Amino acid sequence: METRTSLTGTIFLSKLITQYAYIHQKTVGKTADEYIRQIGLRTGEWVESLYGKKEEEWSVDQYVEVIVDLKNSIGGHFYLSEVYPDHVVVKATACPFGEAVQDAPHLCNMTSSVFGGIASRKFGYSKVVLRKRIAAGDSGCEVAVYFRETDSEDGDVYHDLSYTPDHGNPFQWEEETIHLLSEQLRKSDELVMKLVGELEELKAQVKQD
């Protein structure tokens, strides 16, 4: 039996987020992936502001230092594995979401869009390849980030990304996007309530039998 001290705020929040992401994906399908991608892009821009001024030039070394520090600051165990002229490889032995990420593996799109968004804004182009993922059952994560166009591997491409205008808020979503998200989340909530109702009916039938 687990002790009460085995539960922390980080573990609880990770489980909560992954379970909500799981339900959301089940109800809206691929649309959920795009939401995660957009959140990652905006989060990446916000993270950049914590490490330097907007549109400040970075070296590849600075970029890697930021993305590794970011992940480790929120509970991951990431490190630089390899450096090549056109790409870098980052590996991890632990995910910020812990084992709970296996409940919602599409949250890996957050890593892709954060890494890819920052690289695209700093270098003009990026392709992120999620080679290995703890969320998919691998023992660790392996992520390649390309800074030049390549066909050597399939991945998520990011280019022509702009910054939020001065005095703007990267988390200020367009009205149309917010409306669409609201509708999809409403459907998620309706499905959950429907499932709860069906479970109650099933319990009542079992009692009658």
Over the stretch 66-76, which tens digit does the pLDDT of each residue have?
999 999 998 89
CATH number, span 8-163 = 3.30.1380.20
Q: Report the predicted TM-score, pTM, of the whole model to 2 decimal places.
A: 0.72
Q: What is the pLDDT of residue 1?
A: 45
Q: In the chain, what are the domain boundaries?
A: 8-163, 173-209
CA distances from 102 to 15, 53, 95, 138, 187 (A): 10, 35, 10, 10, 23
Over the stretch 57-108, which tens digit does the pLDDT of each residue have?
999 999 999 999 999 998 899 999 999 999 999 999 999 888 878 887 888 8
Q: Is 92 exposed, middle or buried (0-12, 13-18, 19+ CB in 10 A)?
A: buried
Residue of 165, 184, 168, 178 lying closest to 39 (CA atoms): 178
The strand ranges marked E within 58-208 are 77-83, 87-94, 125-132, 141-146, 156-159
Over the stretch 160-187, which tens digit does the pLDDT of each residue have?
888 877 766 666 655 555 565 566 566 6
Q: What is the pLDDT of residue 104?
A: 78
Residue of 56, 50, 168, 177 lying closest to 114 (CA atoms): 50
